[in-house]
Structure 1
């Protein structure tokens, strides 16, 4: 069974200070070296808020607690890095949730539902994750790639695009899953959109 552990695998590309070279890091190392990081390099600018909102901030807030007020938020940012005690809490949190941070876990794959399927057993290509890919009814006449040739995504890239797709999702109509009582004609309607997809800017 394949494993891609987001805690240790190098799927994030942080820039340390003004360094020109970028070494991929896992989630734990990024948190430990947060004070040295000037940016996390991404393929598309909209991946940055998705990564911060859907991954980094939730992990930090869940592990360390929500700052009580604006002053507490400001104090946390002013620190510039996590303290030793905070890093211990973050490490403990990551260990406790390790199985949920494996992209290919058989029961709890990261940001996915294991065993989810449609009545017809259909699957869709990886192009649906990548915002710049033309799929479905938005394929232009002269596209470099057809929907039948989905992009090959390395696990590191797939994890980033998965976060991006969930964060910027604008579709309230989804393919119906087996066992969902709300399915009508193979679809469900009125589903929540992504938190940033609601802004209508992607």
Structure 2
């Protein structure tokens, strides 16, 4: 899934898409009578960007997309640590009880393989639930930033967290259309119901 961002000038959606496109659209919009806010659609949280200088300056300062290797490459002079950093494998400390270590070490491939399999299995088993929670949280953060003083905000939040889609839509029906539509899109992304 491509990471997207959405900019609002007051209650009006100004731009949506890749961060570079949104940043340049905001810069080109110039001074607006309404404050401009940019939101990460994955988290629903507002982000700050430095939009001074040329387009190239702005693009050079943009944060790198999430999902890549977030660990900095160690300097060449330092000895390499454990793991396989070129494959994204990073050694970290895990604290377990002795009985857990015994069980892990008895598994085919050892503790690391067993832990990776357990994590992958848990991610598969809770994938839908995790996506629903992340979408709900993103909608909440966006709503708190853009609609915290709107009528029915608190009741809409309750309906959102109760997963009452009909009530949620009713409560925010009178909000500005772009805010309302974006909150609904964030809350129910990847859901067919």
State the TM-score, normalized to the length of structure 1: 0.30
Question: Which structure has greater helix proportion?
Answer: 2
Q: Which of these two proteins has the greater Rg computed from alpha carbons? A: 2
State the TM-score, normalized to the length of structure 2: 0.31
